[in-house]
Each structure stands twice: as structure tokens, then as C-alpha cells.
């Protein structure tokens, strides 16, 4: 039997999304009539202020970053971590990690405003992030960590009002806090969200709960259309639709119709394009200008070119077959269609970023694009200056006859293919001299600056590629769960929702019947995938039950070395004792250990000297006579010499 449960209100158009400045690439949401936050915003703000004061006292001056970030740091000691946990007391301790990320944001803001103390504030921001990581990894109660610490949404008090609720998972992604994102507890939370083991509560969408059928081995219990909200399944459908979209394009571009008529493959290609355009417009309408990013603009350009190709094809149909007008517009339409081929293949990268190789390369490309802004800013200024000079030389005879040649030559120089021969007769000798200077500035100075920026960006990312990939994967997961749709109709299936459900039924059909209709349609559309996912989840449920019987975590897997581990007893055979005696102390540096050992020996020597001094002062009553005292001190030695030594 299939379940038909609903998580949200049926009126999907009533939702309004808001995001803060740092969440440019995500889809946060603020629903109407949200329940009150679990902790008053003013109390959360007070906890954050306590933590900020603590970090300012722990790091009162500029320190090297490595002293804060290295394991077993002498700055962030266990005592400091314990004090940070007590900032909210027992009642508000769940918001500590959220507050530490908020403090990190505050210190970063101070670093931008107070440039003279930027290094100090940056180190304090890193310390706040490290404290958050240590607290996450030190929490032993997994359910409390996931549901209360990481996924519970909190608000702060700003300008007399409560801010938009957010949780620690969202805040870490917004701030690109790689240290927190790379912690074990954070990644376990992301993994549970990605698999659908943590879902939003039916009654309170602001909180997350464990999927109740996670350990249910009944196949029919998992055959639920609502499971399409799981990020893993949504991503799978998106990849499948992108591959089909690419296949349709390949079929359309390789099967030219001389008559200019639209065949089935080309018609489906434009239907898919309409679905993707509707999806982009819907998200932009909900989110606003913060939704815009590189990939949005890339996709929008692709869809604009395809729309142009479709419009030209429709214009061609207005002419009779084999007429010059129809042939011309058909040829122009196919030219636009062929022009988009590289963009179709590059578009796959957007959906393959969940794989580690592609994800790391996408991060590198993103950083390189950002670094390129410096180069293009300098290039535009240089271009405008030299272009004005060349146009001035061209206007010396009161005519602009060589402007096109000049612009093309300048662009060729940027692409490292300068043309010097054309400038020999261009306002000689000023033209050729100016072009030599322009070529030197662009090819030697600016392009080398661009290469240096690219190298720097590549090294920064590749050195920290694993954390960067985990951050990208976390961002991908939050895109699905941060602003979930009421009914998951992935493009181009959103056209089915729009034209077959919303327009004809939503405005008059009773709410419960409309919800039932949505579930039936989703069940039919996604039935091939749901059959497979139900089988996968049933198998996972058996694994969860097996792990629970062993007393392990739900996602635990038995590795090769664990198969015979239960037959070993290292304490009984004395092996553990030998290991403990020979293992080095890696928590403290060797130099520090030697100093501590020397300090201990000096202390023992000091105690011995004080005992000898007391014995001498006490006289024979303490040592059994002068003879005994003399024997202890030795021949020719006085008590003063002993004390002096």
C-alpha cells in the first residue's frame, strides 16, 4: 500500500523566500506562520556575545594561524572548549555551535571594517570556527547533535526584531566554514540529509526528524511519492533528465530537416527547454536577485539561444516550402542550434558536481572566474585608453576609416596573435609605436598577472581539495532541503504540474483532493524510479537493523579488519600493555616533554637540598649527632657550602 502523506501547505505560490547577503547561491526560505524559535532570539544573541568576549580574551593579540588550527593547540585548550560549552548554560547549550558561527561572521565583518586589526580579527574568526568544530566532534549524543545542535533553527536580535531563522548547517555553508564543514559530525548530518534519513517534520517544517521508516523492511512502506524530496533521488532525476536533454539535442542537430518542419525529437527538445526556462523563472521569482550565479547565467544564455532557434524555425514555417525565405531562416535556426553544442556538454558539469573529481574541478573553475575579475578590470581600463588613442590617430584626417581594423587588431593582441604589419602605414610612426606598447602591456604584463592569479587559485584549492569538495557537496544538499518544494516536479515535469494540475484544478478543487491528485500524478511520473528506490531503501533498512543489533550506528559498515576483530582480546594477551608502554606522546612536543622532565628533576633536587638544610640547622637532634651529620656532608664540607651548591 502506498502512503500519501503531505509535508506542507498545498498553496505553493504563497511561500516567500528570503536570504541573507552571504547566501548568494542557495535557496533559503521563510514560510508564513513559522513556529516560534526554540530559544528566544535575545538569549541567543547574549550567548553569542559571551562567546565573542571569551575569544577576545583568549586571543588578545595577533597570533599565527597555525597555533590556533593545529591539533592539541595550546591556545584552544580543553579548558577553553569547556568554558565555551558553558556560555549558554544547560538550558541554551544547543545553540553554542550556531552562535560560534555567528561570532565568526562578526569577526570577519570587523576585519573588513578595521583594516588595521584585520589579522587579529581574522585569527579570532578562525578560533571561533575551530571551537565550533571541537564542540561538534566532542558531542557523543548523535541524535542530540543532529536534531538540536546542527539542524535546529535559531534567530538573533537585530534592530529590535528577530532575524530569519537559520541553523548551523546553513550558516556554515553560507560562511564557507571549511573547518566546520569538514568535521565528522557535520558530514554525518549531511550524509543523513542526502540519503533522506533526516526529513522535515510534517507538523513543524522548521525542524528535522529521523525518517520513521528507516528500519522498516516492508517494501511497500518505502513506495512513497513523498520520498522524491530526498536530495539523492532528486539529483538522480536531474542527471537523467540532463542526459536525455543532451540526447535530444544530439538527435536534433544530426537530423537536419530540409523541409524545415519540426520532427518529434526537435519538438521534445523545445518542450524540455520550456520546462527548464519555467523552472529558472520560478526560482528567480521566489528568491530574487540573490539566486543569480554563474551557472544561472550560463543556463539562461543557453535557453535564450535555443529560444532564438525555435522562433526562427517558427518564422520559417510562415514561408512556403523550398522558398528562399524558408531556406534562409531554417539555416539560421540550425546555426543557432549548432552554436549551443559546447554549452550543452558543459551544462553536464552542473549536475556531476556530486562526484569528487568533477566537484573539485568546478571549485577551481569558480575561483578562477572570480580571480579573472581583477584581470578584466585592468584590461578594460587599458583597452579604453589605447582605443581612444587609436581613434584619435584615425581622426587626424577627419574620417574614421580604420576603426574596425584597430578593434580587430587589439582583440588579436589580447588573444596573443598581434598584427604589426597593418600599423606600418597607420599614422606612422605613432601608430606602430602605440601598438607595440599596447601589445607589451597586454601580453607581457596583464596576461602574466592573469596566469599568476590562476596559479594561485589552483594551488589554494588543490591543497584543500577535499574540504572544498565537502563544502560543495554540502551546498548541493542544502539546495534541495533548504527550500523544498511542496510537490517535487523536476523540469520538464514541472510543465505537467503547471498545465495539468495548477491551472485546471488548484483554484477550485478542495485542498485534500488536490493533494491526493498531486500524489497520484507524482506516483505515476516517478513510478520507475520509486520502484528502484523502494528496493534500495528496503535493503538499507535490513542493514540498519543489523547495525542496531550489534550496537553500532545506523550507517556503519563491516570492513575487512573487523571480521575477525571480535576474536581478539588485546588486554588479555598483554599486547595492549606493551603498546601503551612503547607508544609516544604525540599530544605534546618532544621539547616540551623534556622541559617538563627536567623541571620535575629540578624540583626533586630542590626538595632534597631543603631537607639537607633543615637537617644541618636542626643539629644533632635531627641527625643523630654531629658525627652522623658530618658523615652525611662529607669531609671538608660545611653546611654553607651544601646550601650554596
Distance (Å) of CA 402 to CA 164, 293, 406, 427, 528 = 58, 38, 6, 11, 63
Q: Does the residue 377 lie in any domain?
A: yes
My answer on whether 366 and 311 are in the same domain is no
What pLDDT, on a 0 to 100 scale, did the predictor assign at position 569?
Answer: 80
What pLDDT, on a 0 to 100 scale, did the predictor assign at position 494?
Answer: 87
Last residue of a domain, one of 477, 492, 520: 477
How many Å from the N-terminal Cα to the C-terminal Cα in the chain? 92
DSSP structural state of residue 498: I
My answer on whether 424 and 468 are in the same domain is yes
**Residue 327's domain spans which residues?**
239-350
Last residue of a domain, one of 350, 376, 408: 350
Task: Evaluate the omega torsion of the peptide bond into residue 408 and state whether it is cis, within 30 degrees of 0.
Answer: no
Q: Does the residue 170 lie in any domain?
A: yes
My answer on whether 165 and 142 are in the same domain is yes
What pLDDT, on a 0 to 100 scale, did the predictor assign at position 400?
Answer: 57
My answer on whether 171 and 39 are in the same domain is yes
Cβ contacts of 398-402, under 8 Å, gap ≥ 24:
402/426
Last residue of a domain, one of 160, 175, 195: 195
C-alpha cell belonging to residue 465: 581539495
Q: What is the DSSP string of 415-478?
A: TT----GGGTTSTTTHHHHHHHHHHIIIIIIIHHHHHHHHHHHHHHHHHTHHHHHHHHHHHHHH
Torsion angle of the four alpha carbons 230, 232, 234, 235, in this order, in degrees rounded to the nearest 10: 160
My answer on whether 314 and 255 are in the same domain is yes
What pLDDT, on a 0 to 100 scale, did the predictor assign at position 19?
Answer: 37
pLDDT per residue as tens digits for the range 161-179: 888 888 899 999 989 899 9
pLDDT per residue as tens digits for the range 334-387: 899 999 999 999 888 888 888 887 887 888 887 888 778 888 888 899 999 988
Q: What is the DSSP string of 274-292?
A: HHHHHHHHHHHHHH-GGG-
C-alpha cell belonging to residue 561: 579488519
My answer on whether 334 and 394 are in the same domain is no
My answer on whether 140 and 180 are in the same domain is yes
Q: Does the residue 451 lie in any domain?
A: yes
My answer on whether 51 and 143 are in the same domain is yes
Torsion angle of the four alpha carbons 617, 618, 622, 623, in this order, in degrees rounded to the nearest 10: 30
My answer on whether 158 and 114 are in the same domain is yes
My answer on whether 371 and 464 are in the same domain is yes
My answer on whether 326 and 424 are in the same domain is no
* Cα–Cα distance measured from residue 551 to residue 566, given in angstroms and rounded to the nearest whole number: 14
Q: Cell 658525627, residue?
A: 627
Task: Evaluate the omega torsion of the peptide bond into residue 355 and state whether it is cis, within 30 degrees of 0.
Answer: no
What pLDDT, on a 0 to 100 scale, did the predictor assign at position 479?
Answer: 83
Q: Which residues in the chain land under pLDDT 70?
A: 1-37, 205, 287-288, 290, 396-401, 483-486, 619-645
In the chain, how many domains are there? 4
What pLDDT, on a 0 to 100 scale, did the predictor assign at position 324?
Answer: 85
Q: Does the residue 261 lie in any domain?
A: yes
What pLDDT, on a 0 to 100 scale, did the predictor assign at position 399?
Answer: 58
Q: Does the residue 529 lie in any domain?
A: no
What pLDDT, on a 0 to 100 scale, did the predictor assign at position 360?
Answer: 78
My answer on whether 169 and 100 are in the same domain is yes
Q: Which of 514, 493, 487, 523 is nearest to 223 (CA)?
A: 523
Q: Does the residue 108 lie in any domain?
A: yes
Q: Does the residue 17 lie in any domain?
A: no
The DSSP element (H or E) to which 413 belongs, if any, is: helix 403-414
Q: Does the residue 378 lie in any domain?
A: yes
Amino acid at each position: 500500500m502506498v502512503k500519501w502523506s503531505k509535508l506542507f501547505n498545498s498553496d505553493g505560490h504563497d511561500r516567500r523566500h528570503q536570504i541573507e547577503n552571504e547566501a548568494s547561491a542557495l535557496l533559503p526560505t521563510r514560510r508564513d506562520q513559522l513556529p516560534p524559535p526554540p530559544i528566544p532570539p535575545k538569549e541567543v544573541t547574549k550567548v553569542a556575545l559571551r562567546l565573542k568576549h571569551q575569544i577576545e580574551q583568549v586571543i588578545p593579540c595577533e597570533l599565527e594561524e597555525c597555533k590556533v588550527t593545529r591539533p592539541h593547540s595550546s591556545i584552544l585548550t580543553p579548558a577553553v572548549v569547556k568554558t565555551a560549552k558553558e556560555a549558554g548554560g544547560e538550558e541554551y547549550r544547543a545553540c553554542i555551535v550556531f552562535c560560534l558561527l555567528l561570532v565568526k561572521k562578526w569577526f570577519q565583518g570587523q576585519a573588513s571594517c578595521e583594516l588595521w586589526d584585520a589579522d587579529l580579527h581574522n585569527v579570532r574568526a578562525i578560533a571561533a570556527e575551530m571551537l565550533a568544530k571541537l564542540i561538534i566532534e566532542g558531542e557523543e549524543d548523535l541524535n542530540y547533535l543532529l536534531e538540536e545542535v546542527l539542524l535546529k533553527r535559531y534567530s538573533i536580535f537585530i534592530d529590535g526584531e528577530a532575524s530569519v531563522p537559520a541553523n548551523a548547517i546553513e550558516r556554515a555553508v553560507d560562511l564557507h566554514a571549511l573547518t566546520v564543514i569538514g568535521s565528522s559530525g557535520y558530514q554525518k548530518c549531511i550524509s543523513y540529509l542526502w540519503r533522506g534519513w533526516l526529513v522535515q517534520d510534517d507538523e513543524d517544517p522548521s525542524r528535522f526528524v529521523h525518517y520513521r521508516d528507516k528500519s522498516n523492511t516492508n517494501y511497500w512502506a518505502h513506495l512513497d511519492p513523498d520520498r522524491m524530496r530526498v536530495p539523492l533521488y532528486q539529483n538522480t532525476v536531474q542527471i537523467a533528465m540532463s542526459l536525455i536533454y543532451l540526447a535530444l539535442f544530439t538527435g536534433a542537430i544530426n537530423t537536419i530537416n530540409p523541409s524545415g518542419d519540426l520532427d518529434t525529437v526537435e519538438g521534445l527538445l523545445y518542450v524540455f527547454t520550456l520546462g527548464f526556462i519555467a523552472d529558472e523563472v520560478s526560482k528567480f521569482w521566489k528568491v530574487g536577485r540573490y539566486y543569480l550565479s554563474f551557472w544561472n547565467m550560463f543556463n539562461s544564455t543557453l535557453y535564450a539561444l535555443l529560444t532564438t532557434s525555435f522562433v526562427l524555425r517558427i518564422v520559417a514555417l510562415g514561408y512556403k516550402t523550398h522558398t528562399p525565405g524558408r531556406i534562409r531562416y531554417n539555416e539560421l535556426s540550425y546555426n543557432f542550434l549548432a552554436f549551443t553544442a559546447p554549452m550543452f556538454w558543459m551544462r553536464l558539469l552542473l549536475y556531476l558536481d556530486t562526484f569528487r573529481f568533477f566537484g573539485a574541478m568546478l571549485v577551481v573553475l569558480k575561483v578562477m572566474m572570480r580571480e579573472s575579475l581583477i584581470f578584466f578590470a585592468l584590461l578594460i581600463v587599458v583597452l579604453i585608453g589605447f582605443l581612444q588613442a587609436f581613434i584619435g590617430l584615425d581622426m587626424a584626417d577627419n574620417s574614421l576609416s580604420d576603426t574596425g581594423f584597430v578593434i580587430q587588431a587589439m582583440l588579436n593582441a589580447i588573444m596573443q596573435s598581434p598584427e604589426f604589419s597593418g600599423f606600418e602605414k597607420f599614422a606612422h610612426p605613432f601608430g606602430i609605436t602605440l601598438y607595440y606598447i599596447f601589445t607589451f602591456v597586454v601580453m607581457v604584463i596583464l596576461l602574466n598577472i592573469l596566469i599568476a592569479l590562476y596559479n594561485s587559485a589552483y594551488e589554494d584549492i588543490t591543497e584543500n581539495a577535499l574540504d572544498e569538495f565537502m563544502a560543495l557537496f554540502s551546498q548541493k544538499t542544502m539546495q534541495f532541503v533548504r527550500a523544498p518544494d511542496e510537490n517535487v516536479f523536476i523540469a520538464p515535469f514541472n510543465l505537467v504540474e503547471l498545465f495539468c494540475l495548477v491551472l485546471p484544478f488548484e483554484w477550485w478543487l478542495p485542498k485534500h483532493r488536490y493533494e491526493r491528485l498531486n500524489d497520484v500524478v507524482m506516483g505515476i511520473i516517478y513510478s520507475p524510479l520509486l520502484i528502484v528506490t523502494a528496493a534500495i531503501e528496503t535493503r538499507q533498512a535490513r542493514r540498519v537493523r543489523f547495525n542496531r543489533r550489534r550496537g553500532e550506528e545506523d550507517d556503519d559498515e563491516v570492513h575487512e579488519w573487523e571480521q575477525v576483530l571480535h576474536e581478539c582480546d588485546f588486554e588479555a594477551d598483554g599486547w595492549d600493555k606493551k603498546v601503551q608502554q612503547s607508544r609516544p606522546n604525540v599530544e605534546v612536543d618532544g621539547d616540551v616533554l623534556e622541559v617538563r622532565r627536567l623541571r620535575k628533576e629540578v624540583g626533586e633536587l630542590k626538595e632534597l637540598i631543603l631537607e639537607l638544610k633543615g637537617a644541618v640547622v636542626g643539629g644533632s637532634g635531627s641527625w643523630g649527632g654531629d658525627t652522623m651529620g658530618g658523615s652525611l656532608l662529607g669531609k671538608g664540607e660545611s653546611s654553607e657550602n651544601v646550601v650554596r651548591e
